[in-house]
Amino acid sequence: MQQVEVAVIGTGWCGGIRAETLSRSSIVDKLHICEIRPDRLAEVKKLTNAATATSDYRDIVRNDRIRVVYISTTPESNHYPIARDCLKAGKHVLLEKPIALELFEADELIEIARRGNLKFTIGYSQRFNTKLAYARKKITDGTLGKPVSVMVSRHLSRGLGKKIASRGRLSPAAMESTHDLDFVFWLLEPARPTRVYSQGAYGYMQAVNGSYDIMWSTVTMDNGVLVSIGGGWNLPPSYPNYFRCRPCRASGSTTSTPDRWDPRPCTSSSASCGTSRRWCRRKARAG
Ligand SMILES: NC(=O)c1ccc[n+]([C@@H]2O[C@H](COP(=O)([O-])OP(=O)(O)OC[C@H]3O[C@@H](n4cnc5c(N)ncnc54)[C@H](O)[C@@H]3O)[C@@H](O)[C@H]2O)c1
């Protein structure tokens, strides 16, 4: 087995988890970390027994022994310059979403990776959610028949929304729906998106960063499947974050929630009622 030297740039919440996991991986020869907060740098260095720890990401870029870099920094405006410098230095990159804040930046990163024959991926962690992977398996193997449409609805409380939105010019589509767009396109492969329409509505978050509270995106796939993805971050502060996915197929529909995936056809009288089976049962018990 070939081992590699790996670096994590930005070891806050997400990068800290990445670093701890990498420190236990048998394919990681040496782990290097980079963090601009000295206290967090020292904490993660101790936790992971990192080979080197620096506050300047250019030390990672200059180190030719490092072949793979995980970029988990905030604010999101620094994703593009750090990823660009790492890719230009010939390193394989896993970059947390969003890939960039501007389309031309994303295009440039993909082009540098292509030219350098480098692996460049975005940390779409939903693909590793076993319930969602199971949904893909059941669509791919034909158990669920031919999908006609997929609806995903993902909403955060405004506490978390405000924290994320305060980091800069970000939107619920870029920060939340991006996970679901990736997941649904993965679910529907080899179909490709051909048309996208997105609409937002202002509310609570406009005063925070000028962003919409909620955005619904409608995507038409080249095989005619219709995808609707809603993302928002204005639920009341104490409200639990909420995610629901409903693939609708030619002969019925199914519902997936993060804590429950039930591939059986929904028995609701309305296939588009939007409620999960578990919720329906709870409602039924409550009379
Ligand atoms: N895949 C997922 O499900 C998922 C979940 C959460 C967050 N994210 C993404 O991961 C990224 C990080 O999120 P988080 O919640 O861990 O944020 P965070 O603020 O907790 O951590 C980011 C860290 O980056 C550090 N940093 C900033 N600039 C740096 C630089 N130039 N060099 C080194 N370190 C630098 C900060 O000091 C901070 O500790 C975000 O872009 C977010 O969108 C992805």
Model pTM score: 0.86
Ligand 1 pocket, 84 CB below 6 A?
Answer: no
Cβ neighbours around 6 below 10 Å, total: 26
The dihedral over CA atoms of 215, 220, 221, 223, expressed in degrees to the nearest 10, equals: 150
Instruction: For residue 199, report the distance from its CA to the centre of ligand 1, in Å.
Output: 27
Which CATH number is 4-123 given? 3.40.50.720
Spans of all domains in the chain = 4-123, 140-256
| Distance of alpha carbon 262 from alpha carbon 256, whole angstroms | 6
More confident residue, 287 or 175: 175
* Mean pLDDT, rounded, for 116-138: 93
In the chain, beta strands by DSSP E: 4-9, 28-34, 52-54, 66-71, 92-95, 120-122, 147-157, 193-201, 214-221, 226-235, 242-249, 252-253, 255-257, 260-262
pLDDT digits (tens, 9 = 90+) for 28-42: 999 999 999 999 999
pLDDT digits (tens, 9 = 90+) for 173-188: 999 999 999 999 999 9
Instruction: Identify the CA nearest to 41 among candidates 69, 65, 73.
Output: 73
**CATH 3.40.50.1370 assigned to 140-256:** no
Ligand 1 pocket, 176 CB below 6 A?
Answer: no
Task: Supply angle C-alpha 138, 139, 145, rounded to 5.
Answer: 105
Q: Which residue puts its alpha carbon closest to atom 2 of ligand 1?
A: 125
Q: What b/e sequence results for 160-169 when a residue is b if at least 16 CB atoms lie within 10 Å of its CB, and e otherwise?
A: ebbebbeeee
pLDDT digits (tens, 9 = 90+) for 51-103: 999 999 999 999 999 999 999 999 999 999 999 999 999 999 999 999 999 99
Instruction: For residue 15, report the distance from its CA to the centre of ligand 1, in Å.
Output: 6
| Distance of alpha carbon 114 from alpha carbon 199, whole angstroms | 32
Ligand 1 pocket, 36 CB below 6 A?
Answer: yes
Is the CB of residue 8 less than 8 Å from the CB of residue 34?
yes
| Distance of alpha carbon 40 from alpha carbon 239, whole angstroms | 30
Q: Which residue puts its alpha carbon closest to atom 11 of ligand 1?
A: 72
Ligand 1 pocket, 125 CB below 6 A?
Answer: yes
